[in-house]
Structure 1
């Protein structure tokens, strides 16, 4: 495997990462398109867990939110989109090791790849420095999101969609399951489901309101 370039090593250290075993960091920045024996996927798996524990602990200790609100914020803060935003802020795209075709195709700016890369870097830092320094690093990188409005006061349907995306589930499916009463006082029941997770229903005087209630109920049960 190639050596870590001086420029990339300096960027990592300046950003706050602990770089000792350079081969580990080459792996953390290597996309599958390079065709090398090891790429970032295993480190991404590890970093995802470290990130989730760090953010959920921060939310638990710093807020009095109920469980459903905690889950809503957590899923927004660790979503692929949120991770990609952090990767963009630190300039990760120019340091990703990509095959020529993948780079020509714009893979370096892909939200999925950027999100994966920041998680793989967190995983590498955990192996190099341990949990406590990595926790502080994550808090620094996510600071503006943690103290901002990410994941707060979302419309229930938006919150559910974010939850599904953050947990790599299919998008919610809404279906009108019942309509009763006269036209001037109709009641609509909508059921929302996510494949391999479950379903929940809401009833209201409009289909839109019933969808909102169903999404809120789904988050209570499964979020």
Structure 2
């Protein structure tokens, strides 16, 4: 019996994952974007959204364990900052690109035509969903092995001061005798599954600034970083989480 092309893509993906699924429907679901379901009637499939929720928690647990083992002298604050850097959507998207998850994602024609297979938001979510699929099919040991293999070098190569932009901006404002920064949502654009938030930060006596991001948290950190660089607190090369 001839396999469908989509099955061939799953075959190749399993090779890159280094794991053969007992229940391949889990992997299929982890790769199904909500836009694909809108083109089908009486669809037997579900999108990856619930699995993304689970995968995010599994990823956080394993990365926390890795950091706890690798940095025995780090305090809670440093560990939290390193964790935030490693589990953020952009890092997950990098892993998804390295493993070419994009070619295997099931999505609607409209989403595909607008570059959905290359979007950080979708790739990051799919990466977390695949982690959930590995966890559900093979247990924590399988998910742990996948995460360690793909995040170990990223953890070791993390550079920069690993400072939290929002915290640093608040400390800078307080040090000048100013009230804490106030963040306001200016706009939200894009579809529900891949929104873009624009956030404005205001500090008495300081020019306001605006920045955008794939979530409110990302946008808040972007705009805080912008102010820190503009005010000369950070240089252009400074990393932040």
Question: What is the TM-score with the length of structure 2 in the denominator?
Answer: 0.65
Q: 1:32 aligns with which of 22, 31, 34?
A: 34
* CA-to-aligned-CA distance 1:129-148 (integer Å, 9 cap, x gap): 10022111101011220111
Distance in 1 between residues matched to 2:21 and 2:134, nearest whole Å: 8
Matches within 5 A, 1:5-154: 5-35=7-37, 36=43, 37-63=45-71, 64-149=73-158, 152-154=160-162
- On the 8 A contact 2:60/2:87 being kept in 1, the answer is yes
- On the 8 A contact 1:4/1:23 being kept in 2, the answer is no
Please list every run of 5 or more consecutive structure 2 residues that lacks an aligned counterpart in the other structure.
38-42, 170-194, 207-215, 218-229, 235-240
Q: Residues 78, 119 of structure 1: CA spacing in aligned structure 2 closer, same or farther, 3 A cutoff?
A: same
Distance in 2 between residues matched to 1:140 and 1:160, nearest whole Å: 32
- On the 8 A contact 2:6/2:104 being kept in 1, the answer is no
SS in 2 for 1:5: helix
Q: CA RMSD in A?
A: 3.4
Which residue pairs with 1:185 in the alignment? none
Which residue pairs with 2:181 in the alignment? none
- On the 8 A contact 1:51/1:78 being kept in 2, the answer is yes
Distance in 2 between residues matched to 1:106 and 1:176, nearest whole Å: 37
How many Å apart are 1:159 and its aligned residue? Answer: 7.9
